[in-house]
Amino acid sequence: MSITAAYDAQPSKTVDVGAYGVQDNVQHGDFVTENEERDLRRGLAQRHIQMIALAGAIGTGLFIGLGSSLQTGGPLGALLGYAFVGLIVCAVQFALGEVTALLPVTGSFVRHAEFLVDPALGFAVGWNIVYGNWLSIPAEISAICVLFQYWTDINSSLFIVIFIILTFVVGIAFVGIYGEVEFFFALLKILLVVGLIILGLCIDLGGVPGTPRIGFRYWSKPGPWVEHIATGSWGNFLGFWSVMINAVFSFAGVESIAMAAAETRNPRQNIPKACKRVFARVSLFYILTVLIVGMLVSSDDERLQDESGTAAQSPFVIAASAAGIKAIPSIVNAVVITSAWSSSNQALLAGTRVLYSLALKKQAPAIFLRTTSWGVPYMCVLLQTAFMFLAFMSLSSGALTVFYWMVDLVGCGVLISWSCVLVNHLRLLAAMKKQGIARTELPWHNKWTPYSSAIGLAACLLILLTNGFSVFTHGGWSASSFVSSYLDIPLILIAYLGWKYAKGTKFVALEDIPIRAALDEIRDNPETPEPMRKGWKGVVMKMLWE
According to the model, what pLDDT value does residue 20 have? 35
- Whether residue 345 is predicted with pLDDT greater than 90 in this model: the reply is no
Q: How far apart are CA 337 and CA 347, in angstroms?
A: 15
Asked whether the whole model's pTM tops 0.85, one would answer: yes
Range in 27-36, 107-116, 274-283, 498-507 with the lowest mean pLDDT = 27-36
User: CA distances (Å), 112 to each of 30, 513, 526, in order?
Assistant: 7, 11, 21
- Whether residue 83 is predicted with pLDDT greater than 60 in this model: the reply is yes
According to the model, what pLDDT value does residue 118 have? 95
- Mean pLDDT value across residues 251-270: 76
According to the model, what pLDDT value does residue 193 have? 85
Asked, for residue 415, whether it belongs to a domain, the answer is: yes
Q: How far apart are CA 54 and CA 76, in angstroms?
A: 25
Give the Cα-Cα-Cα angle 198, 201, 202 (nearest 5 degrees).
85
Phi, psi of 260 (to 5 degrees): -110, 40
Q: How far apart are CA 416 and CA 413, in angstroms?
A: 5
Q: Which residues 6+ apart lie within 8 Å of 202 measured at CB?
A: 208
* 405 or 107, greater pLDDT: 107
CATH number of the domain that 429 lies in?
1.20.1740.10
* 261 or 193, greater pLDDT: 193
What is the per-residue pLDDT across 458-475, written as a single tens digit (0 to 9) for each?
Answer: 999 999 999 889 899 888
Helices (H) and strands (E) in the chain, counts: 23, 0
- Whether residue 218 is predicted with pLDDT greater than 80 in this model: the reply is yes
Asked, for residue 321, whether it belongs to a domain, the answer is: yes
C-alpha R_g of the chain = 23
Percent of the chain at pLDDT exceeding 90: 38
Asked, for residue 397, whether it belongs to a domain, the answer is: no
- Whether residue 73 is predicted with pLDDT greater than 80 in this model: the reply is yes
Q: How far apart are CA 136 and CA 224, in angstroms?
A: 34
Percent of the chain at pLDDT exceeding 70: 82
Q: How far apart are CA 439 and CA 67, in angstroms?
A: 43
Q: How far apart are CA 136 and CA 116, in angstroms?
A: 28
- Whether residue 344 is predicted with pLDDT greater than 90 in this model: the reply is no
According to the model, what pLDDT value does residue 38 have? 64
Asked, for residue 395, whether it belongs to a domain, the answer is: no
Asked, for residue 398, whether it belongs to a domain, the answer is: no
Q: Using CA atoms in the order 140, 145, 147, 153, what is the torsion angle rounded to 10 degrees?
A: 180
Domain coverage including residue 540: 3-388+403-545
- Answer yes or no: are the C-beta atoms of 278 and 96 closer than 8 Å: no
Asked, for residue 410, whether it belongs to a domain, the answer is: yes
Asked, for residue 230, whether it belongs to a domain, the answer is: yes
- Whether residue 392 is predicted with pLDDT greater than 70 in this model: the reply is yes
Q: How far apart are CA 258 and CA 107, in angstroms?
A: 8
- Whether residue 312 is predicted with pLDDT greater than 90 in this model: the reply is no
CB atoms inside a 10 Å sphere around CB 475: 6
Asked, for residue 393, whether it belongs to a domain, the answer is: no
Nearest to 301 by CA among 291, 315, 287: 315
- Mean pLDDT value across residues 222-251: 90
Range in 49-63, 217-231, 374-388, 469-483 with the lowest mean pLDDT = 49-63
According to the model, what pLDDT value does residue 320 have? 85
According to the model, what pLDDT value does residue 534 have? 62
Query: Across all residues in the chain, what is the average pLDDT?
Result: 82
Number of structural domains found in the chain: 1
Q: Which residues 6+ apart lie within 8 Å of 490 measured at CB?
A: none
Rounded-to-5 percentages of helix, strand, coil across the chain: 75, 0, 25
Q: How far apart are CA 93 and CA 258, in angstroms?
A: 10
Phi, psi of 44 (to 5 degrees): -100, 120
Q: How far apart are CA 331 and CA 317, in angstroms?
A: 10
